[in-house]
Every structure is written in structure tokens, then in C-alpha cells.
Structure 1
Amino acid sequence: MTDFREARAALWGFLATAFYFIWVFGHDRVPSDSFIALFRNYLTAAFALLFAAGIFGLTILLWRNRPQKGMEAPSPLAVIRDWGERQWDEHRFVKIVWPPLLFAILLTAFNAFKQKILATRPFAHDGWLAEADRWLFFGEDGWIFFHDLFGSTSATLFIDLSYHAWFLPMSIGVIICAFLGPENYRVRTQYLFSYIFVWIGLGSIMAFLFPSAGPCFYNDFVGSHDSYAQMMAVLREHDTILEARGANVQALNNMAALLAARDADGLVLGGGISAMPSVHNGLSVLFAIGAYRINRWLGYAMIAYAVLIWVGSVYLGWHYALDGLISAALTLAFWKLAGHFADALARPVTPWGRLARA
């Protein structure tokens, strides 16, 4: 029996992201050829991840259906065919296809928005965000608080690696949604709509309203700030020490790349400068919520990772502390809102085409 909840969720998710995608694509500052090339790259990456996850999932499925003692197991081909027929009967593969499409559409539009549209806004909010940091950390800048607490080259390397490993759960989390069973309809739909709200609500609308560069770029775009200049000097000193060990501070490379790409004519993968609010922190909170709904211990691990991401965002100078705190609060609100969406879309449709009230 076809599960129309999945089709409705996919339709509304596609409409929301397509509107955002088309609006960004149609902006006169966004180069169309570069935009299409970026979309092609993200689409290829999304379906490559889907394929890899599918192979992994089928391997587990075949293992569960392996021959047992004294029992005859179905052939691997029959297991795969049965799985495919069930997906077709239940939702016409909608549940599997729309998460990677969502990923490619959102990231392409967000990258273009951040690099070409958001770049027209002056960084007018760094001043009060820096002051808020000093209030939160008892009169000193956030980066100083954390460096005094556990600052060392080893800590910098660990935090740097952890912070930039964020891309893995950011992409894998969406792909996992494609393979969760129909019993996980609510958590899947809630996660995917929250994902949309974070990229568009936090990364685009809020970023446009509160444009800021962040501590690492304060001296480049806002004004002279001795403390943040000292922060960058400390990170460079750690980088020099780590280079002798065959490692480096990846954050410094990425910061240099963002500065170099700011005036580029085309679109650069991952380009654009924006601190407030933090999509990085918002999505790490979303990972934790989604993981907890699937497995409690996995959820605890991802909560710890979300805290590490927040600390790392301040420690490395990417964000002010308030960027992550506001993002976390709004992501929790988005999760609640997405849950209401999921429930509404799950209601049966009346003969008059309206969703029935529960």
C-alpha cells in the first residue's frame, strides 16, 4: 500500500527548497554557469553517498538473511528484489530519492547566497557580539577563556580535526534518512524539515539580518582588535609547531581560502563569510536530536560532539559564543515546528482534499 505521507512530505520539502533555489539562481549577482556547475557537483556527491550507503545497507540486509543451521535462506537476488518491490509498493522510492535531492538543492543555493547575496551586506554586528562574549566569559574574550582552560598544540589539533569533521554527519545524516523504515516516518520528516529550516532560516534569513564576520576576520573587515589579532598569532604559532609533526591547523587554511574567494567572479565550493548565527552549531545540535531519537547512546555521543563544536567554534575564532547559543535555541524551536509539519502531513486526506484533523 502506498504511503502518501512520504509523497506529501517530499512535495512540501521540494517546494520550499525549490523556491529558495530558484530565488537565489535568479539573482543578478549569481553567475548561472557557476551555479549550475556547483549544483552538479553537490548532486553527484549526494547520490554517490546514497549509493555507498545503499551498498552498506544491502550488505547488512543480506547478512541478516544469511543461511542458518538447518534452514534454507532466500537467495541474495531474491532478498534484494523483495526489498526493491517493497520500496516501490510503499512509496515509489520517494523516501529514498528526496533526501539527496534536498541536500544538493539546499547546499547549492546556500553557497551561492552566502557568497554573492550576503556579501552585499556590511558586517555591522561584530561589535556587540564581541561585547557579549566578554560579558559571557567574565570580562575576557571567549577564545582566551578556552585557551586558558586547555589551550595547547595538541588541543588545537584535536579541536580543529573534530570541527572540520562536521561535514561527515552533516551529509550522512540526511542520507541515513533515506533508509530509515516507514515506522520512522516522523523522525525522518522532522529531521529533514529541520534541516531545511536551519539552512534557510539560520544560514540565510538570520545571517542577512545580522551580518557579521566573526573573530577570525574582525581585523580584516571590521576594525582593529588586538585580542583577535593575538588569537590569530597563537593559532599560527600552533600551526608552525604542528607542521614539524606533519600536521597543521586546517582552520587557518580554510580562513585564507575564504578570504581569497571573497572577490572571485564565480562560485567556490564552501565559500562565503558569515558568523551570526552559526549553521555549524545549529546542525550539530540537529545531529544530536536526530541521533538521540534513533539510539540513546548515539544521542549522548552526538550531544558531546555538539558541545565540542561550540567550544571549537570559539576556540578557533570562527564564531562568537552567542552565535552558537542562539543557533542551538533556534534549532530546538525548528525541531518542534518540523514535528508539527510531520504530524499534519501524516493525517489522512478527506474526500474534499483537505487534511483531516486528528
Structure 2
Amino acid sequence: MRAFTTAFCANVKAMAPFHGVVIAYTAAVLLIAASQGALVAASYQQYLANFGPLYFIGLPLVTTITHVLLWCLRSDRPGLRTMVSALPTLSGNIASAVVTLAMLILFMGSFTTFKTLMPVLMDGFPHDRAQADIDAWLHGGMDPGPALLQALDYPFLLNILQWNYMVGWMALAFIPAFFIATRKDASAIRLRYFLTFASVWVVLGSLLACLFLSAGPVFYADVTGDATRFGGQMQVLLERIGPTHRPYLWQSYVNGTIGIGTGISAFPSVHVGVAAMNAFLLWDINRKAGTIGFIYLGIVALSSVLFGWHYAIDGYVSIVVVGLLHVGLKRLFANRLPMPAAAAITSPNPATP
């Protein structure tokens, strides 16, 4: 029992800064929601219903089966007594990982709750025209989205990129968190990863998004009344890949409902921001993996504009801001919580684009 308590308390204490950020952010979101008369639990329930089975059943089951198979293949298998003696410490590590993943689910519920409130706080989406004009000015007087679609108008390619943007990105954004939370002997990189994760979502998806709230090209006609500027791009995409998530997001906004991924905001791009976060972290661990991460970042940034979810400047700003966050947290950890070389080498990649 003492070994369990020691391991559990040590890991929870090591992750205390992340837990503190989540609690403070959630408290702020709930206060804002209460002030708007919109105190609901829908987003928390849905994230628990969807992420709970993934983090607490599916991935643990896959990991356990993998470890058992690898153990059976080992010629130097540890004896039963050794395994039993290590069980309390292992249980403490697992219990602390459950706490970390539960805090991540709480964080995502708070993020979505605030995202759905942003149009209420900002009285709609006031910045689309300005951002679209800046985007066109930076790209020689033309909107980059329609131009990209004209150059890449191949249904097979569009469907691959669309699948990656909607499904592949989700897997690379959230599955690595499980393996980092459950990784032993990597407390410094674990804390750094989760603090970076939270910082990216809060700074990009909450603070900057609320201050410069826009809906993006896909909703440009709805929020500005101008159906011609991006109408051709949206019509071609509708014919090539279908309506995707557009009706779901718009109806959720109109009806004031909350669910997984609801809420509309374009500037800056969290999609690009998370891909940038993974690329920077991968670069610190392994240069080849980092190169792949940056290639993937380019694919995500291109896709965000191609499919009309974002203006190109949304991705540009995200990369710069995430780069600054990465450098700042890296220096903080270098000064206060240096990452052991062994942990950096043996830790799993934050993502494998």
C-alpha cells in the first residue's frame, strides 16, 4: 500500500501545474457561462462519453494485450514474485495517469463550452471581412482557398486530405496523450507536453479566437451576407466531398446546442496549432521525426485553407504563436525541470504524423 501511495502522490504532484491550469480554466469558463445564463453540462458529458471509453477501456486494453504478448515472447521473462512486487508501484502510476486523463477530458469540455459562448460574448463574428481582405492582400490580391482548390481539384486527393483533416488529425491530437500520461520515468516531458497542449488550446482557441472572432470561409456567406466570394469554392467542395461537418456546426450554433467539437471560430487555427505543437516537440526528440512532423504540419495548414475552414493567416499566426509557446516552455523546463536525456530518448513520440 505504501508503494502505491508513494507512486500515486509523486506523479500527481509532478503533474500539479497542469491540474492547476485545468481547474483555473474550468472555473473561469463556468463563471462566464453562469454570467450568460448558459451553465450546462452537455459538453462535459459528451466528452466523457466519447473519450472515457477510449482512455479508460480501449487504449488500456490494447496496451495490456501488447505487453502480455511481448512478455510471452521474451526469453528473460521476470519471475512471478518480481511482477507481484512491482504491482503496487505500477498501480499507483496507472491511478495517477487516470487522474491526468480525467483532467484532460474536463479541459476539453471546458474548451468546447467556452467556444460555443464566444459568439454570444462578441455579438456574432465581427472580423471575417477584415481577415479575408488581409488574407487576399498577402496572397497577391486573391483568396488562397479558391486558388488552392482549382489547383488540387482531384476527388481522390480531396477525399484523402479530408479524411486526414477530420479523422487522422483527431487521432494524432488525442491518442498520444494516453501514452504520455501512462509513460513511466518521463515526468518532465509528461508535464511539458500537457502544459504545452493546454497552452495551445487556451491561447489559440480561447483568448485569441475570442478577441478576433471569425467564422471562416465556409461560413462567410452566413455571417457577412456575401455569398459570392467563397460560394464557388463551397459549391465545388459540396459536389466533391459532401457537406462534411458544416451543417452540424452551423445548426449547433443556431440552436445553441453543445456537443463534441461544436463552436465556430476560424482565427487562429487550433488544427494547425496542434500539428505545430507536435512538430516542435518531435523535433526536440528526434530530427527525422520532427521533419515528418513539419511536413504533416504543412499538409494540415494547406487542408485548412483548401476546405474553407480557415483563412491562410489563421495557420500562419498559429505557427508563430505555438513556436513562441514552445520556446518559452522549453526554457522554463530547462531552468527548473530539466528533462533527463534517458527519458527524452525512450519516451514515445507526442505524435507520429
TM over 0.5: yes
Separation (CA, whole Å) in 1 of partners of 2:220 and 2:139: 19
Counterpart amino acid of 1:214? G
Query: What does 1:76-225 correspond to in 2, within 5 Å?
Result: 79=83, 81=84, 84-87=87-90, 93-94=95-96, 96-121=97-122, 122-165=124-167, 166-182=169-185, 184-224=186-226
**Percent of aligned pairs with the same amino acid:** 23
Contact 1:133 1:320 survives alignment (8 Å): yes
The aligned counterpart of 1:282 is 273
Contact 2:196/2:329, CA 8 A, preserved across alignment: yes
- 1:281/1:309 contact within 8 Å kept: yes
Change (3 A) 1:190 1:176: same
**Paired residues for 1:1-358 under 5 Å:** 2=6, 6-26=11-31, 27-28=33-34, 29=36, 31-32=38-39, 34-35=40-41, 37-50=42-55, 51-66=57-72, 68=74, 74-75=79-80, 79=83, 81=84, 84-87=87-90, 93-94=95-96, 96-121=97-122, 122-165=124-167, 166-182=169-185, 184-224=186-226, 226-239=228-241, 249=242, 252-343=243-334, 346=337
CA distance in 1, matches of 2:143, 2:272: 19
Aligned letter for 1:229?
Answer: G
Is the partner of 1:253 in helix, strand or coil? coil
Aligned counterparts of 1:78 and 1:58: Cα–Cα separation in 2: 18
Give how far 1:54 is off: 2.4
Output the CA distance in 1 between the equivalents of 2:52 and 2:85: 22
Give RMSD over aligned pairs.
2.7
How big is the shift at 1:289?
A: 2.8
**Residue 274 of structure 1: how far off its partner (Å):** 0.4
Check the 8 A contact 2:266/2:310 in 1, yes or no.
Answer: yes
CA contact (8 A) 2:119 2:125 kept: no
In the superposition, the TM-score normalised over structure 2's length comes to 0.83
CA–CA separation in structure 2 for the residues paired with 1:87 and 1:342: 26
In structure 1, what is the Cα distance between the partners aligned to 2:174 and 2:37? 24
* Greater than 6 Å deviation, 4+ residue runs: none
**What's 1:353 paired with?**
none
What are structure 2's unaligned runs of at least 5 residues?
Answer: 339-353
Count matched residues. 328
In the alignment, residue 17 of structure 2 is paired with which amino acid?
Answer: W
Q: Which amino acid aligns with 1:99?
A: T
- Residue identity matched to 1:255: R
Instruction: Name stretches of at least 5 consecutive residues in structure 1 with no aligned partner.
Output: 240-248, 348-358
Separation of aligned partners in 2, 1:176 and 1:189: 13
For 2:37 and 2:160, how far apart are their aligned partners in 1? Answer: 37
SS of the aligned residue for 1:275 comes to coil
| Alignment CA distance shift 1:101-1:259 (3 Å) | same
> Is the Cα–Cα contact under 8 Å of residues 94 and 182 in structure 2 kept in the other structure?
no
Q: Which moved more, 1:224-233 or 1:298-307?
A: 298-307
Instruction: In structure 1, give the amino acid aligned to 2:233.
Output: M
| TM superposition score normalised by structure 1 | 0.81
Q: Distance in 2 between matches of 1:107 and 1:269?
A: 9
Listed one character per residue, the Cα deviations across residues 213-267 of structure 1 (whole Å, up to 9, x for unaligned) are: 111111110231523011111112224xxxxxxxxx3xx2311111111132442
Amino acid in the other structure paired with 1:119: V
Opposite residue 160 of structure 2, the aligned amino acid is F
